[in-house]
Copies of this chain bind each other. A is one copy, B any other.
Amino acid sequence: MYGLMGKMIAKPGQRDALLALMLEASTDMPGCRSYVVGRDIENADAIWVTEVWASKAHHAASLQIPEVRAVIQRAMPLIAGFGERFEMEPVGGVGLRDSD
């Protein structure tokens, strides 16, 4: 499995719009075993996305899905920048969807 945790910084006032887009992007992605988006506690403009994929290749492939690319295009104008980003190799736990 392949896991990512990343922070995105929305432009002022755009956090919830960005969250909504990130949620929209998260449906029906092959190999996606977990994908959670949320509001950072400390920074009113920041969101977190935590992702678990069947493999790193599945994550890379997801970025080529036309619907995902379309959402990314719509999200770009809402994004001021990026914060911390960490990768991990998930080994298990609770809430991992079956792999496609």
Q: How many residues of A contact B (CB 8 A)?
A: 37
A96 within 8 A of B: yes
| Chain A positions 14-64 with a Cβ under 8 Å from a chain B Cβ | 19, 23, 26-27, 29, 32-42, 47-48, 50, 52
Q: In the complex this chain forms, how many copies of it are found?
A: 2
Cβ 8 A contact of A40, one of B19, B86, B95? B86
The verdict on A38 contacting B3 (CB below 8 Å), with A23-B91, A92-B23, A95-B97 known, is: yes
The verdict on A38 contacting B97 (CB below 8 Å), with A5-B50, A48-B3, A50-B50 known, is: no
A88 touching B34 by the CB < 8 A rule? no
Chain B residues near A86 (CB, 8 Å)? 5, 7, 40-41, 48, 84
Give Cα A29–Cα B94 distance, bound, in whole angstroms.
10
With A23-B91, A42-B87 known, 10 other A-B pairs at CB within 8 A are A3-B36, A3-B48, A7-B86, A36-B52, A36-B90, A36-B93, A36-B94, A36-B96, A39-B91, A50-B50
